[in-house]
Amino acid sequence: MRQFLRAVFLLTGTIIGAGIFSLPYSFLLSGFWPSFFGLIGLGFLTLVLNLFYVQVILKTPGDHQLTGYAKIYLGKKWRWLGSLAIILSTIGALFAYIVLGGYFFSLFFGQAPNFIYRLLFFCLGGIFLLKDFKTLSLVEGIFTLLLIGLTLIFPILGFKFFNWKSLTIPGSRVFAFYGPVLFALSGAAVIPEVEEVLRDKHRLLVLAVILGTLLPVIIYFLFAFSVLLISGSFTTVDALTGLLIWSPDLVRAGAAIGILSCLTSFISLADVLKELFYRDFSWPQKFSLFVTILIPFLAVFLNISWFLEIVSLTGTFAVGLVGIIICFLFWHLAKTLTVRILVLILILILSLGMVAKFLG
């Protein structure tokens, strides 16, 4: 049971990151019903993609990341495309976590955003990354339990401030939710590590991935719409600043959620990037770790104004490309026409999302 819970929390903790704080504002732009059905629809899409990836991992000998599987099933050229997809999506996420994590430290301590807090967040993430994998999984589990608890408490604390008329605010951009939601739900990169945790209990892997994917959808719904119901048309890009006029204590609780969510995801995805360099690029382990730590350090010099654009672009293009590659990998394992039609539908949705973002 302990291994199973560690696997679930590893996936859940990776998925629930900085993206959760982009949702209230993007939902405001889209309107309640498009956002509600968009969250459910993209949650289902993400779950199917994750289960596709599980089957690829289980049916392929050896330990690999996405790039390794792309090389095995699709050829060397796809390996480099897979590398680009996973590296861009991971780096984009790491950048977003540092920018927002530092911002939440400043909110928690009631001070103006500055370089020091971004550096503090980066150093904390780096310290945990230097720990071994067993320690990393344990930290993920503890942080994720705290995160879920805080996120569930948030709508309870804010209920007295709810204004139900906020749900009727008309959206100005119906599909504004797409990139942020896809980014917020991304976690496929850590599934090989989830499989590693349950290597002796593969029968539990599918259930762990289902729970690890669906829990964030529920948490996102509770958090995003709670913020929207409180802030209404004053909802801000970071989700929390708009709550200051209602309850500074609520903002501090939200900042605590933010720090935990960003930190858990930063640790997991940085470990994924390190493993990609080590396993699939065959770089020395210490050098892989050095590069993994060096790249996101650049985000220490960015500020909060970069956050939403990083999330939107990363979700639409990098995460979308990862999803398309997973679909092509699973195509080789699909046995029936119905399943292959489903694969094609997912590829079409992800491709249209990229085209719409590019044209828009």
Q: pLDDT tens for residues 347-359? A: 999 999 999 888 8
Cβ atoms of 20 and 177 closer than 8 Å: no
Give the per-residue pLDDT at 135.
57
Q: How many domains does the chain have?
A: 1
What residue spans of 232-331 are helical by DSSP H?
Answer: 248-275, 285-297, 307-313, 320-331
Flag whether pLDDT at 13 surpasses 60.
yes
pLDDT of residue 108: 92
- Predicted pLDDT of residue 358: 83
Q: Are 255 and 20 in contact (CB under 8 A)?
A: no
Position 128, amino acid: F
Q: Which of 18-22, 36-40, 282-286 has the highest mean pLDDT?
A: 36-40
pLDDT of 34 strictly over 90: yes
Per-residue pLDDT band at 247 (split at 50, 70, 90): confident
pTM for this predicted structure: 0.88
Expressed as residue numbers, the domain containing 45 is 2-359
pLDDT at residue 75 is higher than 60: yes
**Predicted local confidence at residue 140, as pLDDT:** 62
Residue 60, judged by CB atoms within 10 A of its CB (0-12, 13-18, 19+), counts as middle
Q: What is the pLDDT averaged over residues 81-94? A: 87
Whether residue 39 is predicted with pLDDT greater than 70 in this model: the reply is yes
Q: Summarize the confidence of residues 50-55 as an average pLDDT.
A: 96
Rounded to 5 degrees, what are φ and ψ at 238?
Answer: -90, 0
Residue 4: how many CB atoms within 10 A of its CB?
16
Residue 164 has pLDDT above 80, yes or no: yes
CATH code of 146's domain: 1.20.1740.10
Can you say how many angstroms the Cα of residue 54 is from the centroid of all Cα atoms in its chain? Answer: 18
Full DSSP string of 199-243:
TT-GGGHHHHHHHHHHHHHHHHHHHHHHHHHHHGGG--TTSSGGG
